[in-house]
Structure formats: structure tokens, C-alpha cells
Amino acid sequence: MNFLPKRFLLLSLVAVFMLVFAAACGGGTAEQPEEAPAAEEGTEAEAPAEEGTTDEEMPMEEETPAEEEGTTDEEMPMEEETPAEEEGATDEEEAPAAAGDASLDSPPSVPNAEEASQYTGASIVYYGGTTGLEAEIDDALVAQFTEDTGIEVEIVRRPQSPTDTINQYQQLLANQSPDLDVIMLDVIWPGLLADNLLDLGPALGDVASEHIPSIVENSTIDGKLVGIPWFTDWGMLYYRTDLLEKYGYDGPPATWDELEEMSQAVQEGERGEGNDNFYGFVWQGNANESLTCNALEWVYSHGGGRFIDDGGAFTFDNEATVTALTRAQGWVGTISPDGVTTYGEEEARPVFEDGNALFMRNWPYAYATGLQSGIADDFAVAPLPSVDGEQKAGTLGGWGLGISQYSENPEAAIEFVRYVTSPEVLKWRALVGTYAPTNEAVLADPEVLEALPYLEVLDQIEVVARPSGETGANYNEVSTTIFQNVNQILRGQDAVQLAPRVNEQLQQAAER
């Protein structure tokens, strides 16, 4: 397989998208709070509890990897022109075996360990991965970093909800707390947190120069580099190759009608064979930023746009948006569980990986966890469907790393960020965790391209921006308005009646 065109495609897609987004990056992520996962004794600390937080106050985001926004839920919003499909390209990409000789137990050594060792004995706090493989990767990197440099790193497991995460960051940073040093930054957050983050340009400008320029620009606020890019992601469709073959289908669905028909047929067949818990399609329907991402994909792929037009007017009440949301409402309790209206990324993923769903919408992080599941040889990825004549879509996300300007050991924190964003680590993370790197040289590495077949999906979709660029610092309220109302539609509200009122609410939210 010739991966080179895919590499340049990815770079151009992200670059165009981020150039649009970088013009106005003031938003956070909007999700309702979830409890932070319990800390493992001796390894990480429990994230501080939040008090007095209301839905109206909560910033938001996209899930990402575990969300991974999201997940989730969960992103680096932006939209760009979709290159023409390559002749002979297909929607289907089979899941490969483990890539190369990379091992979770053998992370790269610290390249500049001798220089970094001048800070031996210093300790820093890192707000890192949530659970599962993401957390295991963090554990391995922290152990290697401490062994090579003598710098102690305490891991705080950030909540799975990006909204909880941004709320904790804001609370701690507002109090100028020394209890966080290095933080994971969703792509919507740099503008929101810039005043409280260290300018990394003087120390890490050389590192940043190796990454896709437009993503670096997104992390540069008023000339201040507040984050180093780490990885990128977007929404896509996971599907069971064995079940499609079993029921006589040649490949994944190209349209939403096909997804519904396949889901219904396979669901009836599997339940007829005794699996009463089997569903056709799982996704993220909880009232949080992940739902904004899902809804954007539904609406865009129906020809309804991005909830906002080029002139800044909201479009929630257009016919295509109403049609898309009414369609999704029809999935609940039929091809999707009743409880999908409470699902985030980490609720949907085990349903699919335990063999109880034909299709799943999720982020690339689930590719790696799928390879460790019981369906490792029986799943693949494809673009999310569209209606006939409309473009397939995936909401784009991604994360970087920043340093609090209130850190008591900023030099040690800088060395940690230098290490975990080094080309050696980014390649290792791609091979063991299927994280798509933003470092241009690493992205072009043949082993990385082979390990990330989901990059092929980019050849067939439009990477779509949430309206964070247009709404800036008001994006939190805008997204909250979107996901709360979409959740109500999924639970039975009439989209036709609700849409005009939602459009007015969005306009009010954007003007606050």
C-alpha cells in the first residue's frame, strides 16, 4: 500500500483546518461533570474535587481519547476542502496486528537525560491520561523519565469528562495553585487558559518547529506559545467485519439508510441466536461535548452545515439539521440502547469490544484498545456515513501539553514536556497506542503509517470544525446549548418545534 499520499493528505487537511481555527481560539469543552477515576495507590493522586460548579459555568469539549473528544467525547476544530478520492480507494481498513517491535514495557530513553539530570530531586505534578491504555502509557513514560533524570513526577488522573478537567484547571489556576505543573490541553483550551500558562517558546520553540505549523499556531496566543502539540484525532465508524460477512454484506455502510438497514438485520439475527444484549449502533448521546461532536457529524453529513454559517448566523433550525436529529432520535431504543442518551466514549467502547454491537462511533484511541479486545481480528474502521449526495464528516480533535506559570519547578516541567513530545516518544506512542502524531517527520515514518491504517479514512471525509472559531470565548455556552437540546431531542422532544427556540438561544449565548 502506498501511504505517501495519505501522509500529505493528513498534513494538508489539518493545516487548512487549523489555520481557520487559529483565528479565534477561546473556547473550552462542554460536558457535564463525571467523577474522576480512582487513583492507584502509590502511582497517582486524586484530582481535586470541584465545588459550586453549575451547568451554566461549565466549559466544554470534545472527547477524545478516552474520549478521546474523546473521546470522548471526545478536539482542534477546523474545516477544509476534501481532496478527491483516490482511484481504487475503499472505505474499509482492516485492523492489523501489533506494530513493529514497540513494547509498552520499553518506552524510549530520555534523549537529553544528562542535561535534564541537573534538575534531579525536583518534583512535578502532571495531569495526564484517564484510564486504560492511555494511563498505562503515561505510567511507562513517567517511570522512564524519573529513572533517566531523577525528576519525580506525580500523576493526577484527570477526569474522563473534559468539562470536569477544564473546570479543575480553571479553579487551580485561578488560585495560582502550585498543585499542577504539566497539563493536557484540549485544542479548544489554549485561548481560555493562556493567561495562566508559561510561554514555552524560549525553551521549546525548537520542539514546536517540528510539528505541523498550523497546529502550533493554534497554541500560540498573542505571540505566546502556551502548548506543544501531542496528537490529533477525529470521529469515525468502527464496524465488525465478521458480522457483515456473516450476514452477506460486502462492506461498511456508505449512507445512514444503509447503516440503519444493516444494524436492524444483524441485530435481529444476533438476538435470534441468543444475544439479547446485541445492538446495531452505539455512539455518544450523553449531554456533554461528545454529543456536540456526534451531532455535528450527523448534521453536516445531511447537508445541514456546522450549526453556524459563514456570516455568523446560527442554522440549527434548517431542514437538514432537523432531519438529521430526528433520524438520530429514531435510533434510540431501536438499533441503539435506550441508555445511549447517557453514553460517552467509554460507555460505548466496551459494548462494541465485548461483541455486543455491530457499529460504533468513536475516536482513533479505540483502535488500540480494540486490538487488545476479544474482537481484535474482527473489526475495521471506515468513514461515518452520509445521506446520498452529501459529504461524509468527522469532527476533528486533538491534545497538547502546557505548563502552569505558577509551577514551582518550571525547568523540570519543561524537560518532561520535551521528553514526552520528542520524536522518539511520539513514534513509540503511535506504535503502542495508535495515537496520530503531529510531528511531521514522525507522521511520515513508514512504521507509523503502517501502524495507523485509520489514516486512510481521511481520504474520504471532510474534517469538520465545531463553531469554536466563530464564537471564541462564548463557545462553552454555545456548545452547552447544542448538546443539552440535542439530548432532549434524543429523549423524545420534537425537533421541528424545538429548533427555532434553540437557534434563538444560540444567538443569545454567542452574544454574552
Residues in the chain: 512
- At 470, give phi and psi (nearest 5°): -75, -30
Handedness of CA 501, 504, 509, 512 (dihedral sign): negative
The interaxial angle of helices 289-301 and 319-331, nearest 10 deg, is: 120
User: In a 3-state reduction of DSSP, which class is residue 348?
Assistant: helix
The answer to whether 313 and 321 have CB atoms below 8 angstroms apart is no
DSSP bridge pairs for 436 = 232
Amino acid at 494: D
Name the DSSP letter for residue 342.
Answer: G
CATH class of the structural domain 236-395? alpha beta
> Cα dist. 437→229, 417, 423 in Å?
8, 15, 9
pLDDT value of residue 475: 81
Report the C-alpha gap between 136 and 223 in whole angstroms: 35
Q: Which CATH number fits domain 4-233+396-463: 3.40.605.10, 3.30.70.330, 3.40.50.720, 3.40.190.10?
A: 3.40.190.10
Report the C-alpha gap between 343 and 283 in whole angstroms: 7
What are the E-state strand segments in 27-181? 44-45, 93-94, 123-128, 152-157
Pairing of strands 152-157, 123-128: parallel
Report the C-alpha gap between 45 and 38 in whole angstroms: 9
**How crowded is the C-beta side of 271, counted as CA atoms within 13 Å?**
14
pLDDT value of residue 100: 53
The interaxial angle of helices 495-510 and 475-490, nearest 10 deg, is: 170
pLDDT value of residue 123: 98
Report the C-alpha gap between 185 and 165 in whole angstroms: 9
Report the C-alpha gap between 284 and 34 in whole angstroms: 15
**Residue limits of CATH 3.40.190.10 in the chain:** 4-233+396-463, 236-395
pLDDT one digit per residue (tens) for the chain, 512 residues: 333 344 444 444 444 444 433 333 333 333 333 333 333 333 344 444 433 333 333 334 444 333 444 434 333 333 333 333 333 333 444 433 344 578 999 999 999 999 999 999 999 999 998 888 899 999 999 999 999 999 999 999 998 877 788 889 999 999 999 999 999 998 878 888 889 999 999 999 999 999 988 778 878 888 999 999 999 889 999 999 999 999 999 999 999 999 999 999 999 999 999 999 999 999 999 999 899 999 999 999 999 999 999 899 999 999 999 999 999 999 999 999 999 999 999 999 999 999 999 999 999 989 989 999 999 999 999 999 999 999 999 987 889 999 999 999 999 999 999 999 999 999 999 999 989 999 999 988 999 999 999 888 888 999 887 887 678 778 888 999 999 999 999 999 999 999 999 999 999 999 98
Count of CB atoms situated within 10 Å of the CB of 171? 16
Count of CB atoms situated within 10 Å of the CB of 92? 16
pLDDT value of residue 188: 79
DSSP bridge pairs for 57 = none
Report the C-alpha gap between 285 and 283 in whole angstroms: 6
Q: Enumerate residues 6+ apart whose C-beta is below 8 A from 377.
A: 95
Report the C-alpha gap between 394 and 493 in whole angstroms: 26
- At 399, give phi and psi (nearest 5°): -140, 155
The answer to whether 475 and 329 have CB atoms below 8 angstroms apart is no
The answer to whether 438 and 231 have CB atoms below 8 angstroms apart is yes
CA 496 to chain CA centroid, nearest Å:
30
User: In a 3-state reduction of DSSP, which class is residue 229?
Assistant: strand
Of 152, 162, 210, 206, the C-alpha closest to 184 is 162
Name the DSSP letter for residue 236.
Answer: E
User: In a 3-state reduction of DSSP, which class is residue 237?
Assistant: strand
Report the C-alpha gap between 25 and 398 in whole angstroms: 14
Report the C-alpha gap between 260 and 253 in whole angstroms: 9
Degrees to nearest 5, angle at CA 392 with 4 and 269: 110
Degrees to nearest 5, angle at CA 170 with 169 and 174: 120
> Cα dist. 364→4, 236, 349, 509 in Å?
20, 8, 11, 31
Cell of 47: 484530582
